[in-house]
Each structure stands twice: as C-alpha cells, then as structure tokens.
Amino acid sequence: MSIKHLLNLCVLLLIFSCASSEISKIEGKRLDIDATLKTDQAIDDFIKPYRLHINKDMDSVISYAPETYSKTDGKFNTAIGNFMADAVYAEGNPVFKKQTQKDLDFVLLNYGGIRSIISKGNITTRTAYGVMPFENSVVVAGLKGTQIMEMTEYLSRGKRAHPISKQLQLTLDENGKVKSATIHGAPIDENKTYYVATNDYLYDGGDGMTFFHPNEGLYVLNYKIRNILIDHFKKYDTINPKRDQRFIKL
Amino acid sequence: MKRRQFIQKSTAATVLASVGGLSLQSFSSTKTKKITILHTNDVHSHIDPFGPEDGRNANKGGVARRASLVESIRAENPNTLLLDAGDIFQGTPYFNYYGGELEFKLMSMLKYDVATIGNHDFDNGIDGLYAQIPHADFEFVSANYDFTNTVMDTHVKPYKILVKDGIKIGIFGLGVELEGLVGKDMYKETVYLDPIEKAQDMSRILREDEGCDLVICLSHLGYEYKNAPQKVSDISLAKATKDIDLIIGGHTHTFLPKPTVETNSVGKSVLVNQVGCFGLYLGRVDFYFEPGRKVKSDGASIIV
C-alpha cells in the first residue's frame, strides 16, 4: 500500500465516519405554557407598547347596549342581525352614493358571520372585534330581479336568521315557501337591477350564496364590516336593536 | 440507498481495520448525540396569555412564558431547533392592528429556525404576508405551494437543512389546499401541488441526495379527517411515505397529549405531533443518535 493509497483511504474513512448517524431513541412530550413559567422580561417589555396602544383603543367605550343580543334569539330575524344589516346600509349607502350617484336597495349578510354576542353594558371597540374579527369588507353587486328571487329561495331554504336590512321584507308561508317579497314596499321586478350590499366573502360564494353571479356590476367600497360597526356604535349613546317583521314565517 | 450506505460502512470498517492504530478520534466520536425539536402550531396571534376570566384557557399560553421555557431547554441542550407549523396570523387584535409584524418579530426574538405557511397566513392577502417577511429572522418552507408567479417567489424554499452537532437535519413544509378555504384574490397565483407526491420527492432528496440524518415535515394539512378519508392529512401522509422521522402538524387544532406513532409505507415508525393551538403548549421531541453505528434492525426505541 503506497502512501498515496493510504492517504486516499484516510480521506474516505474521514468522510464515512462523519456520515450518517442512526437514531437510537426518540422521546416525545407536551409541555404546558402556564403561569408556573417565568415571564421573559425582555419579551414582555417588547410587547408592552403594542399592548398598551391596542388596549387603549379597544377598551374605549363607544356606545351602550341596554340588553344582551345573540344571533340565536330568533328563528328568521334577530335584533343583532337586524342591527348589523341596517348598520351596513346606514354607513355604506353614503359611500356607495358618492361612488355611483345611486342608492343601495338593501343589505344581506350571513348568520355565521355574527361571531359573538353583544353583551349588556358598555360597548367598546373590542365588542366590534368580537362580533366581527375578520377583515371582510362591503361590496355591492348589481343584481337583476331574477337573481333576487333566487336569493329569496335561498333564504327560505336556509331557515336561518341571515341578516337582511329593513328595505327587504320577506314572508314565508306555513310550508316555508316564499309568500311575498318586497323591496322598498314594491314587489320584485324581474328586469330591474337592484344594488345589494354584502361582504366579499359572501359575494365570492361563501355559505353557498351563488346568486351574486352573474351580476350587473361589482362596486368595492373598501369599508370593513368591523369599521362600519365601530362607526355606527359611535353615533349612538345607546343602541336599540329590535327584532321585527322583516323576515318571518306565517 | 440502504445498500450503498451498507457498502460504504463496510468499506470504512475494512479501512479502519487495515490502517490499524491510526487515530481519527475527532471524526469517529462514539458519544451519543441529542437533538431537541421544539414546536408550535396555530398560535393565531395569541401573544398575551389568556386572562383569568377566560372560560376555557384561563391563565394559559403567552409568548413571554414560551420564551423562558425555550431558553431553559436551550440551556440544557444547545442542539435545539424551534419550529412552527403555520397559522401564525389571525385571532387577536395584534394581527388586526399590526398585520403580523409583532408575531414575526417575537418569533425572531425567540430564535425560531423554520416555519411553514398556514391558510390564515394569507388573511391579509399574499401581499400582506410578503409585507411582514422583513420582520422574520427565520425561514419559511413549503414544498407544495408554488409561489413562482407571486410576490413570495424566492422567499419560501421547499426545504431547509440545518446541522447541529454534526447531525444533518432536513426540514420541508406542506400546506393545505387553498381553494375553497382562502379567497383566490388573497392567495392569487399560488399553486397548490399534491402534498403526498411532494413529500415523496422531498424525503428522497433530503435522505438520499442530501444525506440527512433526520427528516422533519412541517405540515399544515391537518391531523386526520375521519369523515373524509380521501382528504390528505398528517396520518395519511405518514402512512403513504417513507424516510420521514417526524411530522409536525397544524390546521385542525388537535391537542395531542403525546406524539402519535404511525407506520410508514416500508413498515418503519414515524412520529406525528400537534399541540392544539393558541400557544397553550410547546411540543418537544428528543432524538438520540449513535454516530457511525447501525442500531438493531427493529429501529429506535420510541418513548412517548
């Protein structure tokens, strides 16, 4: 064996002994993150200014709720749902009108989109974050009367208190079929274009709402539902949500 | 590959025998090595601990506490990796206010090594995710999201290799199907690729081409879909692949009290773990290595 060979072998040996190791034992466990652990002060100090800023904002009282309102309070319409849909109309319509010189016809949201109750007592910005944690924004779709009919069929099948604003009145008969549907007190005109505000999630077909397509145009208001709630709360010392007759079954 | 490894090892043994007393101790150390893997998933912007009045998780969680726990484990074993399996974003006003900036900054301070991307990490759109990338001093891996035609191109790699105490650790990422879960205008031109196929590619590349001693999959596929068995999950992934040692999962917020041991496509054990959500727990898996020596044919002993 020459020196060169030996060196080559040494190089090989070096490579092989540094090569793959084999697992001999594995231990797995779950560790609790709780109050028994020390709080890392540097981390906590870093968070503090962010926390203070948010808390100051979140805990500022912006309105008052005389009762506790839940989306499960009614079968076809609820005080909280009516409040939300009407708020979207009230705050969204001026923005839409400025863009298009047109008025909204009505608002449709979804039952599942009410993410929390509004508790009796002070309403803070945090309340709005609880009810609407998502970043969804208002969009307006121009829909032919035929699409609105499809929407009322959807609402009759769903048998849930999907929030609608008060401009739409929907009555189901004893069998749950659409008995009457009016917009601004007039029956739905199949050929007319109605401007319906909703959120981008539902417009994209969320919750099985396929009736937003095809449409006669989409208008993006760049107005988050949560910000609508915050702005609406701020306008009233005390809110007054009410269950009414806008969507009922006989 | 197994055969090649065996031949290499027998050659090495022969050489060792023939060169006799040649000292190469620094390379042929026989000490057991230990790699500690720490992991979180679905933290969802839960930076502060839950308050004392919380109905479910009172006084639990909190990043500053996680930091001290991670630090104490690192002090005990410097060969520790800290990983996250996605859905870092969305769940508290910290995200609504700061768009994920604080989440990434804190993860950087905790010295996270690698994370994968969850569906909620697209909640401010792919542009919103991209905007926070400068705050992340850790790497993102995803093997089955093709970001080529998006702003995230080059910011996410299919896998990452880290070497700790001479042990080569390959980590690849897998994400859940976005269509139907995330708005198209949010994920834009991100292309979802078959996770099983990608996992097979990745484990082959990491084990055979890169020669990794340890292969970890960071998955946001979800633990198991009992009512939809055709849907890819960590459990189905574990069974359908080989050469993965540990799958760290997320998405389904599954609270596993300890890792699940599954059997892979060639009859070997693979660990699947997931620690629920909201930073309530930290997962820990310790791997012990015997360098340069093959263990018994029945493989490693697993204590969970």
DSSP chain A: --HHHHHHHHHHHHHHHHS--EEEEEEEEEEE-STTSPP-HHHHHHHHHHHHHHHHHHTSEEEEESS-B-TTS-SS--HHHHHHHHHHHHHHHHHHHHHHS----EEB--GGG--S-B-SEEEEHHHHHHH--S--EEEEEEEEHHHHHHHHHHHHHH-S---B-TTEEEEE-TTS-EEEEEETTEEPPTTSEEEEEEEHHHHTTGGG-GGG-S-S-EEEEEEEHHHHHHHHHHT-SS------SSEEE-
B217 Cβ contact list (under 8 Å, min separation 6)? B171, B172, B173, B174, B199, B202, B203, B237, B244, B246, B247, B248
Considering the domain boundaries, does residue B17 fall inside one?
A: no
CA A161 to chain centre: 15
Instruction: Give, as one character, the DSSP assignment of residue B114.
Output: E
- In angstroms, rounded to a whole number, what is the distance separating the alpha carbons of residues A78 and A110? 12
pLDDT tens for each residue of B149-203: 999 999 999 999 999 999 999 999 999 999 878 888 899 999 999 999 999 999 9
- CB atoms A27 and B289 under 8 Å: no
Residue A4's pLDDT is: 64
* Percent helix, strand and coil across chain B, each to the nearest 5: 30, 25, 45
**For chain B, what is the domain count?**
1
Share of chain B above pLDDT 90, in %: 78
Average pLDDT along chain B: 90
- CB atoms B71 and A200 under 8 Å: no
Give the confidence band of A18 by pLDDT, cuts at 50, 70, 90: very low
Tally of residues, chain A = 250
Q: What residues of B are in contact with residue A18 (Cβ under 8 Å)? A: 27, 166
Considering the domain boundaries, does residue B122 fall inside one?
A: yes
CA B270 to chain centre: 13
- CB atoms A32 and B11 under 8 Å: no
Residue B11's pLDDT is: 43
Helix (H) / strand (E) containing B283:
strand B281-290
Which of B12, B282, B286 is facing A16, going by the closest CB pair? B12
Q: What is the DSSP track for B195-261?
A: HHHHHHHHHHIIIIIS--SEEEEEE-S-S--TT-TTS--HHHHHHH--S--EEE--SS--B-SS-EE
- Pairing mode of beta strands A137-144, A218-224: antiparallel
User: Is pLDDT at B213 greater than 80 in this prediction?
Assistant: yes
pLDDT tens for each residue of A58-78: 999 999 999 999 999 999 999
- The correct answer on CATH 3.90.780.10 for the domain covering A60-249 is yes
Considering the domain boundaries, does residue B1 fall inside one?
A: no
Residue B44's pLDDT is: 94
For A115, other C-beta atoms within 10 Å of its C-beta total 12
Residue A116's pLDDT is: 87
Delimit the domains of chain A by residue range. Answer: 60-249
Give the confidence band of B31 by pLDDT, cuts at 50, 70, 90: confident
pLDDT tens for each residue of B52-70: 877 789 999 999 999 999 9
Q: State whether the Cα torsion B270-B275-B276-B278 is positive or negative.
A: negative
- In a mutational test of the A interface, the residue from B23, B57, B287 whose CB has the highest number of chain A CBs within 10 Å is B287
Q: What residues of A are in contact with residue B299 (Cβ under 8 Å)? A: 23
Angle formed at CA B94 by CA B90 and CA B96, multiple of 5 degrees: 60
Residue B104's pLDDT is: 98
- In angstroms, rounded to a whole number, what is the distance separating the alpha carbons of residues A170 and A246? 6
Give the confidence band of B297 by pLDDT, cuts at 50, 70, 90: very low
pLDDT tens for each residue of B241-291: 999 999 999 999 999 999 999 999 999 999 999 999 999 999 999 999 986
A54 Cβ contact list (under 8 Å, min separation 6)? B93, B94, B97
Considering the domain boundaries, does residue B4 fall inside one?
A: no
Helix (H) / strand (E) containing B76:
helix B63-76
Range of the domain at B60: 33-303
Which of B9, B94, B257 is facing A50, going by the closest CB pair? B94
Helix (H) / strand (E) containing B132:
helix B125-132
pTM: 0.75
**Token pair recorded at residue A13:** 């040996």
- In angstroms, rounded to a whole number, what is the distance separating the alpha carbons of residues B261 and A81? 47
**Token pair recorded at residue B74:** 């690192």
Q: What residues of B are in contact with residue A10 (Cβ under 8 Å)? A: 15, 19, 22, 24
- In angstroms, rounded to a whole number, what is the distance separating the alpha carbons of residues A28 and B287? 9
- In a mutational test of the A interface, the residue from B22, B40, B69 whose CB has the highest number of chain A CBs within 10 Å is B69
- In angstroms, rounded to a whole number, what is the distance separating the alpha carbons of residues A96 and A98? 5
Give the confidence band of B304 by pLDDT, cuts at 50, 70, 90: confident
CATH code, domain carrying B284: 3.60.21.10
Do residues B247 and B272 touch, judged by C-beta distance below 8 A?
A: yes
- In angstroms, rounded to a whole number, what is the distance separating the alpha carbons of residues B173 and B171? 7
User: Is pLDDT at A128 greater than 50 in this prediction?
Assistant: yes
- In a mutational test of the B interface, the residue from A3, A6, A40 whose CB has the highest number of chain B CBs within 10 Å is A40
